[in-house]
Amino acid sequence: MSIKDEDVQRMSQALKSGAKLTSEVCPVCSSPIFEIKGELWCLKCNKKVVKVRENSEVVDAMLPYTLNNLSAVVVEKIEQLSGLLLRLTELSDIKNMADTLSALLSVLSQSESLKEKLRK
């Protein structure tokens, strides 16, 4: 890629009028991204840049933690519902509760198997 004189001029003009140079680069042309009035712009493409959060490192680091939390919440919920199940007498209520517990158990098992996969 090459930055032309007119691009440089546009960028320095932007800086003069209050735009801020960010550490981001344009995903299309790799030129520096400017922040203008809270929006990110590539002045070479002359387009607004929408930042997509796809930092896979962050996701990788967060996922085990999130799954741990999820499992803990689901286990707690299952425990609460089990206590409730004990007191239910209506067959339809018991059936509903069983369905709910089954759904929770499948969430738990998915969460656990995902955690297992991440460990490998």
* Binding residues vs Zn ion (CB under 5 A): 26, 28-29, 42, 44-45
- In the complex with Zn ion, the residue whose CB is nearer, 44 or 71, is 44
């991204």: which residue's tokens? 33
- In the complex with Zn ion, the residue whose CB is nearer, 51 or 95, is 51
DSSP per residue over 37-94, as a string? TTEEEETTTTEE-PPP---HHHHHHHHHHHHHHHHHHHHHHHHHHHHHHHH---HHHH
Euclidean distance between CA atoms 50 and 61, whole angstroms: 24
- In the complex with Zn ion, the residue whose CB is nearer, 45 or 88, is 45
Q: How far is the CB of 61 from Zn ion (least distance, A)?
A: 29
Q: How far is the CB of 56 from Zn ion (least distance, A)?
A: 23
Q: How far is the CB of 8 from Zn ion (least distance, A)?
A: 14
Euclidean distance between CA atoms 17 and 43, whole angstroms: 13
- In the complex with Zn ion, the residue whose CB is nearer, 48 or 95, is 48
Q: How far is the CB of 38 from Zn ion (least distance, A)?
A: 19
